[in-house]
Amino acid sequence: MSQEDRRPRSLREVVFVDGVRTPFGKAGPRGIYAETRADDLVVRCIRELLRRNPELPADRVDEVAIAATTQIGDQGLTLGRTAALLAGLPKTVPGYSIDRMCAGAMTAVTTTASGIAFGAYDVAIAGGVEHMGNHPMGEGVDPNPRIISEKLVDPSALVMGSTAENLHDRFPHLTKERADAFALASQQKYAKAVANGQIGPELVTMATRSKENGWGVATVDEPPRPQTTLEGLATLKTPFRPHGHVTAGNAAGLNDGATGCLLAAEDVAQELGLNIGMRLVGYGFAGVEPEVMGIGPVPSTEKALARTGLSIEDIGLFELNEAFAIQVLAFLDHFGIADDDERVNPWGGAIAVGHPLASSGVRLMTQLSRQFAERPDVRYGLTAMCVGLGMGATVIWENPNWEGSTK
C-alpha cells in the first residue's frame, strides 16, 4: 500500500454516557461487604450499565477495563475480562485490568477514551473496584529494598497517612483546624445531597451476605457520619504521628465498593441514541515527590490545563477526591480557591462517602456528569485526585448542556 492510499486518521470526540456505583461500605469484618466478593461488586455495575442503557447492544461494547490496586484473589485474574464474562457480555468482548493505585478507574477511563478517540473502539466500559476488607492495600507485595536502602524515597512515602502529615509540614498555614472544618463541610454537603435526591440515583443495589445476619441488600453508603461536629473532630487521635494533624475524621476511611461507566465516540452515541453526559476535553498525569503524594493534583492539573488551552478560571465545577483534607486544601491554596468555594465538591466527597481506592475516579466523574445536567451555566468541570507513590491525575470535561453551546 502506498503512503497516499493509507486511510487518513482523525481523532473523534469522546463522551461519558453514564456511570453507576455500588453503595460504598466500611472495610472490615463488620462492613456490609465483608462476605461479598470484589468481582461480584463490579459485575453488578456492568450489568446495571447495560440495563440502564437498553439502546446499547451488548455486542457493541469493544473493551472492558477494570482497575484494582491490589490485584490478588477475587480482584485478580485479568479482572476486566472475567468481569465481562460474569456480567454476560458476549465472549467476543475483551477486557483487561489496570493499576494506578487510587487513580485506577480514572486511568481506565483515559486509556479506553484514548482508544475511542484514535478509532480503535466505538464503546467501552471502564471502572474500578477495591475490597479493602479482603485485600488491604499492599497485600502480597514485595517492594524492592533498594527503594529504601538507596534512599530513593523516605520511608514515610510508603504510608499514605504519613505523606499527608508531611504535607501539613510543608504548608503549616493549612492547619488541622482548617482540615477539620473542611471535613465537617464534606459530611454536611453529602447529607444535603442525599436529602435532595442528588446522590442516590447512580447507586446500584447490591446483595450482601452475612453468616451472622443472613442475606441483605445494600442500598445506601455505609461510611458517612452525619453526627460529626468540629468539637468531636478535635478530639480524635492522630495515628500517623504523635500530636499530628491527620485523623480518621479528616481523611477518607478504608472502604469497599465498585464503579463503572460507559464511554463512547460522540457520533456513535448519537447513532445509538445514548445519553451524552459530558464530553472529554483532556487529561494529565504527573509525578511528584512520593513523600508529599497529596500535592500530585497540582502539577497534573497544570498540565491538563496547559494542554487544553484552559485556565483554572474556566473551571466551573471541581470534583476532587478527598483522600485527606490537607490534600484538597493544598490544591485549593495553590490555585487561590477558598476552602469553602461552592464550586468544589458541592455534594461532599470521600471524607464522607469513602474512598475504595481504584474505584473512586469514576465516582467523581459520575457526580460531575450529574451536576452538569443541573448546571447549564457551567461549561467546564474537572475531576482530580492524588495517587499513591507520588502522582496526580486530572481529567477535564465539557458540559454538553452548557447554555452557550451552539449545538
- Known catalytic residues are 102, 355, 386
Contact, 352 vs 261, CB < 8 A?
no
> 14, 46, 44: which is closest to 125 by C-alpha?
46
120: CB partners within 8 A, 6+ apart: 62
Neighbours of 159 (CB within 10 A): 14
Contact, 388 vs 362, CB < 8 A?
no
Instruction: Say how far apart CA 42 and CA 80 lie, in whole Å.
Output: 9
Amino acid identity, position 17: V
Q: Which three cell numbers stand for residue 140?
A: 502480597
DSSP, residue by residue, 345-396: -TT--HHHH---GGGHHHHHHHHHHHHHHH-TT--EEEEEEEETTTEEEEEE
CA angle (388, 243, 298) in 5-degree steps: 30
Q: Which three cell numbers stand for residue 370?
A: 450529574
Question: What DSSP state is assigned to residue 243?
Answer: T
Q: Which three cell numbers stand for residue 123?
A: 464503546
Contact, 140 vs 70, CB < 8 A?
yes
For 353, phi then psi, to 5°, come to -85, -20
Tell me the CB-side half-sphere exposure of residue 223, using CA atoms within 13 A: 29
